[in-house]
Structure 1
Amino acid sequence: MTPVSTPGPDQHRLLHGLTFDQLHAIRTIVATGSFREASKILCLTQPAISQRVRQIERMLGTPIFERHSGVGVTLTTTGEKILEFCERSMESLDALTADLEAALAPPNDSELRVMAPSDLIQYVLLPMLAPFHARHPHVSARVRQSASRAEIVSMLTSGKVDLAFDRSPTHPSLTTLARMNEHLYLVAPAGHELVKIPPKDRPAAIGNYPFAAYAPGMRTWNLAQRWAAKVGATIVPAIETRNVTVMKQAVRQYGALSIVPAISVSQEIRDGSMVAVEITDMPLTRTTAIAARPGEERTPAIHSFVEELAATYAQRSDSATAGIRWLAPPVEPAAS
């Protein structure tokens, strides 16, 4: 082993000029056991690697590697101390990189996963996604259609979605952030025979016409059946579906009656192709819970999404009683 000489004061000061490139070279040489293999990994020539090592050795006044002809290199006692310093320095550099990435990361969550029934996606969520993204470009909202309440509960509790629209009251394992009240109207094509008879006689006449209804077991089907029993109407569905668009097509193309969310037919009512039938105890109110996992309801991304949803829905709903009301205490959005 080459004798270790003691560096003078000037040499100590030269150590302040060590670079990360030099330290990284030392670590790579130690890891590979030779200058030649280190040069391949670092994409440098072997003379360039040797020069970096010699610069450090000149600063120290002593070798850091013992060269063994044909069998590579090993660290000297001084080299072992330098390697320890290399490891600490690189760990500090990694920590600094992580801190900077965290500091420069955009505020709020980067992704928000939302689950909702198809009609809410089409008529409530789609209109608000563009303005939400414009105001919160750092949050990527992903929307998935729900098939059943069991799926909603499973996806939320397992953490596969962050926010879901469920019938109210929601499952006891979930937290209800807000409730959305929707109005539902009995609609008919313009000029339908039902609108030509006196309003008091219309409930009894409903059974005389084809009806497009929600599929049995759905909450809106149950709501419509309770209404029919209360006012003395008979609903005999010619079409049963889970899709509001199909129900609207049945009204337009088949001349059917239907009970649908007001927001889904607002354009057709404005342009006169459909009418909201004036009849006892209409409109109906359907309440939807906007739910999250307990403890997740105060995240800034969820807060921002529900706030945007409430604002957009208020602009498009048919009255002040149809809207979104917070139940969980809202939070202030994170400072940008």
Structure 2
Amino acid sequence: MDTTNLTAFLAIVDTGSFSEAGEKLFLTQPAVSKRIAALEEQLGTPVFDRIGRQVTLNEAGKALLPRARKMLELVHDTKLEIINLSGEVKGPLSIATSHHIGLRRLPDILKTFTRLFPDVKLDIRFVDSEASYEMLSRGEIELGIITLSPDSHPTIYSEKLWHDPLGFMAAKDHPLTRLKTVSTEQLSEYQAVLPGRNTFTYQVVQNLFDQEGLKLQTAMSTNYLETLRMLAAIGLAWCILPLTMQDDDLRVLNVELKGVKSPPSRELGYILHPKRTLSNAARAFIELLKQHKDNS
């Protein structure tokens, strides 16, 4: 079975359309359609139901889906094992990371890596940390350098690299900065700007408010922490950010949290799929990451 046809099939499943699958694979829509037609001819049955612009898997497509992923994973792992035998560090390396980590943690690491291994073709995808787990499960990336989930994932290996303390912050002229200590109840009286509800950071804040039965007022949300920082710095609302982002235009609030032994924080690190073969490039990147991890 032609792997290029299976790749097109999975791209349509993951994106939900022929045109977006084409963009993902750098192909025209007719080229994607041609590959699916060849796949369906080989199988002797359609794999999609096409109703208007909507594309959904039919029963044959649903049966093919897990097998297609396994076949492509086997081909990928076989190629990697053969390439790895040479000991050379080269070829593609697909990585997912968040904008914050990409801006604040990875520049020096990426600079060193590209200098040491110029034959590696890096494919860096800036996505929400939560999405990285799905991408890794689907085999779209080899590594994720992200905010680690507080919940364990039995099929994904994770390793902490950096402890990332968080702080409640507000502009210097915000009413909350006049208080020596701030309670969660006082925070609830003012609007906040926070990452989206599906993010680990938002869940940290929401859990604190839920414990006291308080309502969290959210003025707006975005997963770009630099944007949240700007919105808080101009006095629009309070926010919670990594302490490394605090500067003269933001004050860290002394928030008293009931029943909480330590201030809120995140753990940053990398994730990989333990059942998939890692390329030499991925192994080299992990070694470089470990050289830059926290000493604590």
The TM-score normalised by the length of structure 2 is: 0.58
Indicate the RMSD between aligned Cα atoms, in angstroms. 3.2
- Classify the secondary structure of the residue corresponding to 1:112: strand
- 1:246 aligned partner, one-letter code: T
What is residue 111 of structure 2 aligned with on the other side?
130
Q: Which residue of 2 aligns with 1:274?
A: 250
For the residue of structure 2 that corresponds to 1:283, the secondary structure is: coil
Q: What's the offset of the Cα at 1:184?
A: 1.3
Q: Which one scores higher on RCO, CA 8 angstroms, separation ≥ 6?
A: 2
Please name the residue that 1:285 is paired with: 265
1:154-211 CA deviation, whole Å, 9 max, x = no partner? 4324433110235244532222244543211111122433222121x44332133331
User: For the structure 1 residues 194 and 307, does the alpha-carbon distance in structure 2 shift closer, same or farther, using more than 3 Å as the test?
Assistant: farther
Q: Which residue of 1 aligns with 2:156?
A: 174
Q: Which residue of 2 aligns with 1:190?
A: 172
Q: Percent identity, aligned pairs only?
A: 17
Superposed, which structure 2 residues align to 1:1-336 within 5 Å?
Answer: 107-147=88-128, 149=130, 151-164=131-144, 165=146, 166-178=148-160, 180-199=162-181, 201-230=182-211, 234-263=215-244, 265=245, 268-269=246-247, 272-281=248-257, 283-288=263-268, 290-296=270-276, 299-312=279-292, 314=294
The amino acid that maps onto 2:272 is A
Aligned residues of 1:167 and 1:219 also touching (Cα < 8 A): yes
Structure 1: which amino acid aligns with 2:254? E
- Pairwise CA distance, 1:313: 5.5
Question: Secondary structure of 1:205's match?
Answer: helix
Structure 1: any 5+ residue segments left out of the alignment?
1-101, 315-319, 322-336
TM-score, structure 1 as length reference: 0.52
In structure 2, the gaps of 5 or more residues are 1-82
Q: Based on CA coordinates, which of the two structures has the bigger radius of gyration?
A: 1
Say which structure is richer in helix: 1
How many pairs were matched up? 207
C-alpha displacement of 1:250: 0.8
- In 1, Cα distance between the equivalents of 2:150 and 2:184? 28
**Distance in 1 between the 2:158 and 2:128 partners?**
20
Q: Mark the CA change 1:235 to 1:170 in structure 2 (over 3 Å): closer, same or farther.
A: same
Distance 1:133 1:283, change over 3 A: farther
- Tell me if the contact between 1:179 and 1:290 (Cα under 8 Å) persists in the aligned partners: yes
One-letter amino acid of the counterpart of residue 224, structure 2: N
Question: d(CA) in 2 for partners of 1:308 and 1:299?
Answer: 14
